[in-house]
Structure 1
Amino acid sequence: MAQMKFAILRHAFRGPRAQTAGTGALLGAVLAAGTIYLAFVDADLLAAGYAVWMLGWMLGPVVMGGGDETVRPEYFALLGLPRRRLAMGLLTAAFVGVAPLVSFTALLGLLVVGIRSGSVLLAVPAMLLQLAVFVLLSKVCVAVVGLALRSRVGAVGSGLVNGAILAALGQVWVFFAAFGETGIPSFVGYLPSSWGVQAARGHWWALAALAASVLVLLALWAALLGRRSRPSSGRGAWSVRPTSPTGAVVAKELLTWSRDLVRNHQLAFALSYGVCFAASPLLIGWNGMLPYAGPIFVVMAAAMSSNLYGTDGTALWLTLLANASDVRGRQLAFLSVQAPLAILVTLVFTAVSGGPWPLVLALLPALLGGAAGLIPLVSVYALIPGTDPHRRAGNPLRTSENDGGLTGLAYLMIALVLLAAAPALLTAIWFGWPGVAVGLLTGAACFWFLGSLAERRLASHGPELLDTMRTGRKPVTQKTLRFDHLSNTQKAVAGWCFGLGALPLFPQGIVAAIFVANDKLHHSWFLATYMPAGFQYAVAGTFIALGLTMYGTGLWLARTNPATSEAG
């Protein structure tokens, strides 16, 4: 099975997928080098670093598309292999890939600890066992979520839990401040991620605990493999009778939102993330983020829907027959599902915290309209071929074979939706209530204008989109958002711009400006809040300009005419 996976990856990592894998490997190498550095500083810091790696293995596949399933259990269903033997073969194959290699590199820190403590003989097997624990935890988490997604209650429940966990990780500083932790929490030393460090220090019990964990997790995964099956879709709760073509599309989309358990999971995840992220500071007695729970929910919901047309699978040909009404219908359906929740959460939480009313009332319509306009537009311009719903494997979260493309599309959607709301945000910060009018105007403009662009694109490139969906290969055009014609240096620059542009634009720029406007100074890692009074908005504005420049540079490179590039 390991040889099979290696052969598949050798033929699959070409073109854009190779570029995505290379960028991911580069970022992973940087993180691994930083983790190894912790081994030279303090072993306790290294244990905390490995706790983050373990959480990444557990939550990353669940949140970002279901993990690596290059070799699936279904491929061997007719061989009659015992479950434990199948699990062992799949586990061996799971060690082949970029992510295990990067994680193994990070685990070289155990070797450093072993050399410094004189326990090298324990450090070497601890590295292998710790990696096996990471991989098996990932497999078990994905399998458990797959079982949960077989019912609507399980899909919603797992979405709520996953959203809360990810929000807690994003607001971890709140928990440190709330519980008086100025250093590494004491419980980190008891996590399975710390057992490798304990073994490298010379504790035999830790090595035995790692070995026992591998056996228990392998047995649990083998048992879960036996229950793996395609999730069943529930019956929709809505009964609608459309009276127009657009109404028919709205009805179809609403039924899909009620019946597709993956969409149930994504909706619950986005709502849970927004509420928990904004409510976390209540632990330290600060309610200043509560009003932004609704806007955060809208942004995350847009990211979850960024590949809207890709989720249709080959049924896209039905959509092409009604493209004149399809885009508008999908826009209205998105607003019908998301807007009531976003408005309710925003009004309630803003009333509880006492404002700022102009800012949130300006943000909400701008974000809703921007999301409703950008979702179909981005989906038809950067469609990622999806798996037909009836062919999804036992892991229903894996809606496409291109996990990296889906992740990049989600981050791009977050940046674009925030960019669409920037005029309303800045107007509300500087002038107050006029920002509400700007938010309504920009939201309506994005809804109508971007939706019109998506309609035209769907009408003019519908056959090409269907061919992409069927074959998984995008047609080469004279001028499109592709990277094939770029040099390796240009590809790297564009990748870094698209991948990291959100950092200066959103947290250090827009969010920092919001904190400054609300007199939340010396706040967490937002640089502008630490600046003198005359430089706070200037620093936040500089970061916003930097983020926009990065995205603009990436778009300019990607849109360069191949012929011009070759001539140069």
Structure 2
Amino acid sequence: MVELLIRLKFTLGRHTRSGTRWLTVLLLVGGTAFTWFLAVAAASDAVRSSLLMLALAVWAGSWILGPTVTNGVGVLRSQYFTLLPLDRNRVGLGLLVTMFVGFGPVMTLVSAAALAWHAYVSDPATLFLGLLGVLTLVVFSVSLGRLVFRGLGAAMHSRLGMEIASLQWGLIVAGLFFGWVAVQPAFVASGNLTERGFEGTAASVLAVLPTSWPVLAVDAATAGSWSAAFAWLGAFALLTVVTVLVTGRLLAPSVSTRGVGRRSRPLGSRVLEDRRSLLPDTPLGAVVGKELRSWWRDPWRGLELRSALYAGLFIGLLGLVADFPQVMPFAGVFAALIMGMGGSNMYGHDGTALWLTVVGQDRDTIRADVRGRQIAIAVLIAPPATLLSAAAIVASGQYWAVPHVLACLLVFTGVSNGLASLLSVVTVTPGVDPHKRVDANDTGDVQVQVWIMLLAVPLLSSPTLAVLVWGAIQGIPWIAVPVALFNGVPAAWLLGRVAHRRLESRLPETLTRIRYGKEIARRSLSTAGGGLLDRLERGALATNEEIKPTGS
């Protein structure tokens, strides 16, 4: 069965285009080269030991974070085998074995082989311990990465699990945006890293990590303490076996019911269903209410909202820790921008539910649908982003930033709101239908949307940013606030108008794309020419990774 699963993985991989494949290859090759550089250039055995502890921990961390950042860990999913008459635990272990076949595991093996080099150079008699450690490290790192990824998806079925997942996503996004501030001191100190290695608290922390235990085993054997060496390696092997068994169990196909039973109605429903509800009894009010409930109840949508707020908070804290407190007041601004990115695939979030809009289409259906989604996002992100910025300003004491933050909040919220609606239509990426979701990023890949937002938001906000800079130079920064209002609101309205007109003219094609995937959608789109929106749609079809057509 394992051989068949591996062959199936390669077959599906040959028919799956990946926009980040070459970047992943480049990072893996660069990481492998840097690991061996540390191992060869180390000034002594003790220095090499501490550097290897760091390198192996980074490789394990890459296996944990990589699948989350790159929207998946492979093309085989356990749901494909749910209805087959196979032992589920065997299927789970077979799926785990397929994770060891690929370029990533090979590069991990080559990098971990630096441990065998360390053992041979320190004492040739300990080489067999180094080789055993290398194999165990590869199995542990790959299994741990799959365990965390699947565990993250399993945790989405509870409120506590969703908060934990949101914290992780927020930390990842904050690191991608502002992580250079945290690692800059390490790069500054890297000049003599191969001479001194790590000492004191850093060395103690690295020694505690499980990935350092094989290194400690080699060091103990080199020092003549073979009992301690076998104890370290045996403990790591036992931990690896437990990790493999738990991961295989999590990967096993399951037909259990999803969701968590409630004892009472959610808070969002109690507010929206009150007799004095502020929502009008119109199609627009219905869409706003539906969207607010969806963002409140759906764990996958809630993940986007909460992780944006956590990311903004972590960015502010990173600036404060890195002695760059000017960044902290803009925590809410970053949260609003990131939430716009998270909402740039709303129709992909809904999956094939778009067919309800198709069969119920009326004169104002599409306009109400797009405008209602815009209003819901604004209601959800503007108040908490404002509160986050206010708290950050008070905590950091950077009161000079009030007009700057207010202007940025107004313009970025409006521009990102309109762009999110437009991109949700033009670059929609099908994921997995809500009732079939298992992993944390089953709502679809948004890498094209993210890059467009990073470029388009500053461009469309340039009038406000220019006035903000001019006002800061002239000592009148408050002049940018009304400019931001007249920049952000029209941008949201105009982009929303383009979005609902585009969706109205291409509603069946959009449903086809969500229902059957990019290969079918590509046939209905011209391969050359067209306007800007057509080119954006072709770019998303060619670049964004597709987990599986939602209706398949």
- TM-score range with shorter-chain normalisation? 0.7 to 0.9
- Mapped pair 1:135 → 2:142: yes
Structure 2 vs 1, CA of residues 148 and 369 (structure 1 numbering), >3 Å: closer, same or farther? same
How many Å apart are 1:112 and its aligned residue? Answer: 3.8
Whole-Å Cα distance in 2 between the matches of residues 3 and 471 of structure 1? 29
Among residues 68, 78, 82, which one is paired with 1:72 in the alignment?
Answer: 78
How many Å apart are 1:342 and its aligned residue? Answer: 0.8
How many Å apart are 1:312 and its aligned residue? Answer: 1.7
Between stretches 301-310 and 169-178, larger displacement belongs to 169-178
- Letter in structure 1 aligned against 2:370: V
Whole-Å Cα distance in 2 between the matches of residues 16 and 87 of structure 1? 23
- 1:8 corresponds to: 8
- 1:469-489 per-residue CA deviation (whole Å, 9 max, x = no partner) reads 12212324133437999xxxx
* Percent identity between the two aligned chains: 31
Maintained 8 Å contact 1:71/1:93: no
- 1:529 corresponds to: none
- 1:25-55 per-residue CA deviation (whole Å, 9 max, x = no partner) reads 2333233323332222233333323222222
- Mapped pair 1:417 → 2:457: yes
Whole-Å Cα distance in 2 between the matches of residues 225 and 5 of structure 1? 14
- 1:496-528 per-residue CA deviation (whole Å, 9 max, x = no partner) reads xx9xxxxxxxxxxxxxxxxxxxxxxxxxxxxxx
- 2:34 corresponds to: 34
- Mapped pair 1:427 → 2:467: yes
- 2:549 corresponds to: none
Unaligned runs of 5+ in 1: 486-493, 499-568
- Mapped pair 1:160 → 2:162: no
- 1:511 corresponds to: none
- 1:398 corresponds to: 442
- 2:330 corresponds to: 292
How many Å apart are 1:377 and its aligned residue? Answer: 1.4
Whole-Å Cα distance in 2 between the matches of residues 158 and 202 of structure 1? 38
- 2:224 corresponds to: none
- Mapped pair 1:113 → 2:90: no
Equivalent position SS for 2:446 = helix
- 1:535 corresponds to: none
- Mapped pair 1:53 → 2:59: yes
Whole-Å Cα distance in 1 between the matches of residues 435 and 88 of structure 2? 27
- 1:189 corresponds to: 207
Equivalent position SS for 2:307 = helix
Instruction: Calculate the TM-score normalised by the size of structure 2.
Output: 0.77
Maintained 8 Å contact 1:253/1:330: yes
Structure 2 vs 1, CA of residues 482 and 416 (structure 1 numbering), >3 Å: closer, same or farther? closer
Between stretches 353-362 and 64-73, larger displacement belongs to 64-73
Maintained 8 Å contact 1:302/1:414: no
Equivalent position SS for 2:346 = coil
How many Å apart are 1:223 and its aligned residue? Answer: 5.0
How many Å apart are 1:336 and its aligned residue? Answer: 0.9
Among residues 372, 389, 399, which one is paired with 1:329 in the alignment?
Answer: 372
Among residues 455, 463, 470, which one is paired with 2:500 in the alignment?
Answer: 455
Structure 2 vs 1, CA of residues 421 and 122 (structure 1 numbering), >3 Å: closer, same or farther? farther
Maintained 8 Å contact 1:366/1:424: yes
Between stretches 275-284 and 453-462, larger displacement belongs to 275-284
Whole-Å Cα distance in 2 between the matches of residues 171 and 255 of structure 1? 34
- 1:232 corresponds to: 259
Whole-Å Cα distance in 2 between the matches of residues 253 and 484 of structure 1? 28
- Mapped pair 1:211 → 2:237: yes
Structure 2 vs 1, CA of residues 65 and 470 (structure 1 numbering), >3 Å: closer, same or farther? same
- Letter in structure 1 aligned against 2:64: M
Whole-Å Cα distance in 2 between the matches of residues 59 and 18 of structure 1? 18
How many Å apart are 1:429 and its aligned residue? Answer: 2.8
Structure 2 vs 1, CA of residues 425 and 194 (structure 1 numbering), >3 Å: closer, same or farther? farther
Maintained 8 Å contact 1:386/1:399: yes
Whole-Å Cα distance in 1 between the matches of residues 537 and 406 of structure 2? 39
Question: Larger C-alpha radius of gyration, 1 or 2?
Answer: 2
- 2:132 corresponds to: 125
Whole-Å Cα distance in 2 between the matches of residues 26 and 286 of structure 1? 31
Maintained 8 Å contact 1:25/1:102: no
How many Å apart are 1:100 and its aligned residue? Answer: 2.6
How many Å apart are 1:138 and its aligned residue? Answer: 1.7
- Letter in structure 1 aligned against 2:293: L
| Superposition map of 1:124-523 within 5 A | 124-164=131-171, 167=174, 171=179, 184=198, 185-186=202-203, 187-198=205-216, 203=221, 204-205=229-230, 206-224=232-250, 229=256, 231-232=258-259, 236=266, 237-238=268-269, 239-240=272-273, 242-283=280-321, 287-320=325-358, 321=361, 322-352=365-395, 353=397, 354-393=399-438, 395-400=439-444, 405-432=445-472, 433=477, 434-472=479-517, 473=519, 474-475=521-522, 476-477=525-526, 478-479=528-529, 480-481=534-535
Whole-Å Cα distance in 2 between the matches of residues 255 and 408 of structure 1? 27
Whole-Å Cα distance in 2 between the matches of residues 337 and 208 of structure 1? 51
Maintained 8 Å contact 2:181/2:319: no
Whole-Å Cα distance in 2 between the matches of residues 443 and 457 of structure 1? 21
Equivalent position SS for 1:150 = coil
- Letter in structure 1 aligned against 2:389: T
Maintained 8 Å contact 1:230/1:396: no
Equivalent position SS for 1:17 = coil
Whole-Å Cα distance in 1 between the matches of residues 17 and 369 of structure 2? 30
Whole-Å Cα distance in 2 between the matches of residues 4 and 80 of structure 1? 13
Structure 2 vs 1, CA of residues 439 and 484 (structure 1 numbering), >3 Å: closer, same or farther? closer
More relative contact order, 1 or 2 (CA 8 Å, 6+ apart):
2
Maintained 8 Å contact 2:332/2:409: yes
Structure 2 vs 1, CA of residues 317 and 73 (structure 1 numbering), >3 Å: closer, same or farther? closer
| Superposition map of 1:519-558 within 5 A | none
Maintained 8 Å contact 2:95/2:251: no
How many Å apart are 1:168 and its aligned residue? Answer: 6.7
Instruction: Calculate the TM-score normalised by the size of structure 1.
Output: 0.75
Whole-Å Cα distance in 2 between the matches of residues 438 and 107 of structure 1? 56
Whole-Å Cα distance in 1 between the matches of residues 233 and 405 of structure 2? 53
Between stretches 231-240 and 285-294, larger displacement belongs to 231-240
RMSD: 3.5
Whole-Å Cα distance in 1 between the matches of residues 515 and 310 of structure 2? 34
